[in-house]
Amino acid sequence: MSVHFSSDKSDWATPSVFFHRLHAEFNFTLDVCASPHNAKVSTFFTEQDDGLKQHWHGICWMNPPYGRQINQWIKKAYDSACLGDATVVALIPSRTDTKWWHDYVLYADDIRFVKGRLKFNNHSNSAPFPSAVVIWRKGINNKEYESRLFSTM
């Protein structure tokens, strides 16, 4: 099985053309989880900086590690926006059945589902999952999402 289809690697770089369209709209000032080889803006936090422990501010780009810690990144994005310190735009897997989706993503100001599957790191294969761009704007207080939620019970 290709590493592209496993969780052995968590630092899949955002496709450049995809990122630049969002950057033209938002003008990002901070990449909250990057490495020197895949940072999308000049100010960024590396794994050594531990973006989860840093103060997020301005207009933040986030393509978090898609592994077991993704819920912590999603919560940090939500919390940073609620504090009024940051607008966070995130590229995440569209996992609408997860707890973190219902706890934090549904409170976002905007959820944009990506048509088709992205190709990360200029890989020849598309990702095995759908993606979404989620935007939490500064100062959100959007706890009224119940009308968007349907229960299976």
Q: What is the pLDDT at residue 6?
A: 43
- The verdict on residue 6 lying in a domain is no
Instruction: List the domain range (segments joined by +) for residue 104.
Output: 12-148
Q: Averaged over 11-28, what is the pLDDT?
A: 87
Q: Which two tokens stand for residue 84?
A: 């009024």
Please enumerate in sequence order all residues whose Cβ is within 8 A of that of 68, keeping only pairs 6 or more positions apart, or say none: none
Highest mean pLDDT among 2-6, 36-40, 110-114, 149-153: 110-114
Number of separate domains in the chain = 1
Q: Where are the beta strands (DSSP E) in the chain?
A: 30-31, 58-62, 86-93, 110-113, 131-136
- The verdict on residue 2 lying in a domain is no
- From CA 3, how far away is CA 43, in angstroms rounded? 29
152 pLDDT higher than 80: no
Q: What is the pLDDT at residue 146?
A: 44
CATH number at residue 59: 3.40.50
2 pLDDT higher than 70: no
SS3 107: helix
H or E element, residue 102: helix 99-103
**What's the alpha-carbon Rg for the chain, to the nearest Å?**
15
Q: What is the pLDDT at residue 57?
A: 97
Whole-structure pTM value = 0.82
Nearest to 121 by CA among 35, 46, 43: 35
pLDDT digits 0-9 by tens, 86-138: 999 999 998 999 999 999 999 999 999 988 766 666 666 665 567 899 999 98
Q: What is the pLDDT at residue 84?
A: 92
Q: What is the pLDDT at residue 143?
A: 53
pLDDT digits 0-9 by tens, 31-88: 999 989 889 999 999 999 999 999 999 999 999 998 889 999 999 999 999 999 999 9
- The verdict on residue 153 lying in a domain is no
Nearest to 108 by CA among 91, 129, 125: 91
Q: Phi and psi (nearest 5°) for 10?
A: -120, 0
SS3 53: helix
